[in-house]
Structure 1
Amino acid sequence: MTPQVACRVGATLGEGPMWDAARGWLWFVDIKGHKLHRFDPSVGALETIDAPEEPGWVIPLADGALLVGAQSGVHRFEDNAFALLHAVEPDLPGNRLNDAAVHPDGSVWLGTMDNAEEAPSGGYYRLHAGACTALSPDPMVITNGPAFSPDGSTVYLVDTLERVILSAQIGADGHPGEARLFARLPEGMGYPDGPVVDSAGIVWVGLFGGWGVARFAPDGEFLGRVEFPVANVTKIAFGGADLTTVYATTARKGLSAAELAAQPHAGDLFTFTLAVPGLPPGYPTA
């Protein structure tokens, strides 16, 4: 598990990697750069789409279009045009969408955050059957995730500034129950960023300012981390034909000129391989 550069990107805030299994592509975003990126590992090619707002995430749809979470809400992108489907928190113009995941039932769960990273105004939502419903827990400054256990019964939610990962059982109505503490990052390991879960139920969390990706057992035990040559690792995705190829987004945001000089690959896309595969990403039905 030694990360290598998959593609030079130089993203200010690379985020939200999502594998498109049907096409063999990896989608991800540069939030502060207003970019959607598509990486084709078969030829090593990177294509870029300009976004009108800060895009927090991009999720491919089965029909070839994209769902894009941006500042104003959830958009559909096709034929080189963005169309707003669901306004999210229009009463909080300082918030933006930050991370998202597809539940096994086809619903899209997404989180918001204060773009100034100061106010506890971020929350979680579930997009399903044409409706976008607010979820618990209490508001956070920066939400990350969610991620789901292999059977879809547990959701993992990240409170980045508090350095904690929460978990909750998902009820028959598709909504989470009371959130409990799953794991807390110690001082010196950075801030927990985007989470994902592999086929063995291991929770992987990007470490912003922590030089790697942390791994936690299903009971919350810390299993170690994969170390990177850059400080800000934001999130991973499992890709390739057998889902054992890992892709990781990284960021230049917050680094000084001296730090950037010492980290020439900050903001690039990294990759490494695993013995245990990830989970199929699935396509939304929302």
Structure 2
Amino acid sequence: MSAPELLWDARCELGEGPVWDAARRCVWFVDIKGRRLHRYGVEDGSKASWATPDQTGFALPADDGSLVCGVRGGLHRFDPGTGDFSALIEVERDRPQNRINDGFVAPDGSLWFGTMDDSEAEKSGALYRWANGVLTLMDDGYGVTNGPALSPDGATLYHHDTLDKTIYAFGHAGGRISGKRVFARTEEGYCDGPSVDSAGTLHVGLFGGWGVAKFASDGRYLGKIAFPVSAVTKAAFGGDDLKTLYCTTAWLHQSAEARAAQPLAGGLYSVRVDTPGLPQNLIRL
């Protein structure tokens, strides 16, 4: 395993949602608070950015070449060719204090994502599944949602309540979940965005924990990948061999002194690992 390498000093206040786009050989990610969508080209280090309509928790590739973005208030389609956003479906009109946070695409092309109270005060967040144009509430009562992620066999779905430092596991089959249980809790920092490798090891960004935590499929803590910045928000597998972790970071909630001590917080990083991840699925539109 290599040491973390800074790819882009993007200075995101709240970088999130890195995702490998194999077709374009790039990494997409967002700055939620900065209301920006970023694209990093792995071939030449090219960088491009777009303003988003509102705070955006993720931008995930779809089967028609577009991205589906979790914008506060609803899902939007983003056309990389024109840079245009268009609304797809409203989300939580009845919870105006909420915004959309992390998201994941299942092998069947369904989109799973969570919402959260933007002030991080109330447990008004929920977990949703969007498939065939239908939005379904799957679980409720979260402070800050992160994930979900699926085990390699698809039988276990992981989802976090970051405020509680708790990773939950559900049984998963046919787009349904059951048997919610506590899978693990983080001691160093708050459990942020998760990804799973091909061996079933869960990789969890640690907000305030200076790295990426690793958990075995039975919940055992396996240690962490240390980072030079305190808030790692998500690690996602990518590259042609799926052995590169692309990691977003943040400086949200940091004092002026902490920011001065971590001038590269908010950047996009990469780490080479030994075990490949799982392929990025495309949203079926």
Cα distance in 1 for residues equivalent to 2:128 and 2:215 = 25
Q: Could you tell me which amino acid in structure 2 is paired with residue 165 of structure 1?
A: I
Q: Could you tell me which residue of structure 2 aligns to residue 6 of structure 1?
A: 7
d(CA) in 2 for partners of 1:120, 1:24: 38
CA separation in 1, counterparts of 2:17 and 2:66?
Answer: 17
Q: How does 1:120-199 map to 2 (within 5 A)?
A: 120-136=123-139, 138-172=140-174, 174-186=175-187, 189-199=188-198
**Which residue in 1 is equivalent to 2:26?**
25
Aligned to 1:61: 62
* Counterpart residue number, 1:261: 260
> 2:99 matched to 1:96?
yes
Question: How big is the shift at 1:162?
Answer: 0.7
Query: Hey, what does 1:113 align to over in structure 2?
Result: 116
Identity, % of aligned pairs? 49
For the aligned residues, what is the CA RMSD? 0.9
Residue 208 of structure 2 aligns with which residue?
Answer: 209
Q: How does 1:204-283 map to 2 (within 5 A)?
A: 204-283=203-282
1:261 deviation in Å? 1.1
Residue 51 (1) aligns with residue 59 (2): no
Q: Aligned to 2:257, what secondary structure does the other structure show? A: helix
- TM-score, normalisation: structure 2: 0.97
CA distance in 1, matches of 2:230, 2:278: 26
SS in structure 2 of the partner of residue 116 of structure 1: coil
Q: How much has 1:88 moved relative to structure 2?
A: 0.8
For residue 249 of structure 2, what is the amino acid of its counterpart? T
Normalization by structure 1: what TM-score?
0.97
Q: Give aligned pairs, total.
A: 282
| Structure 2, unpaired ranges of 5+ | none
CA distance in 1, matches of 2:65, 2:40: 15
Q: Is the partner of 2:260 in helix, strand or coil?
A: helix
Q: CA deviation at 1:178?
A: 2.2
Query: 5+ residue gaps in structure 1?
Result: none
1:191 deviates by: 0.4
Q: 1:27, 1:228 → 2: CA distance?
A: 21
* 2:279 maps to amino acid: P
Partner of 2:87: 84
d(CA) in 2 for partners of 1:196, 1:80 = 28
Q: 2:154·2:173 contact (CA, 8 Å) conserved in 1?
A: no
Q: Deviations over 1:50-75 (max 9, x none)?
A: 00100100001232211000101111
Look up the match of 1:38: 39
Give every structure 1 segment of 4 or more consecutive aligned residues whose post-TM-superposition deviation is greater than 6 Å.
Answer: none
Aligned counterparts of 2:235 and 2:24: Cα–Cα separation in 1: 19
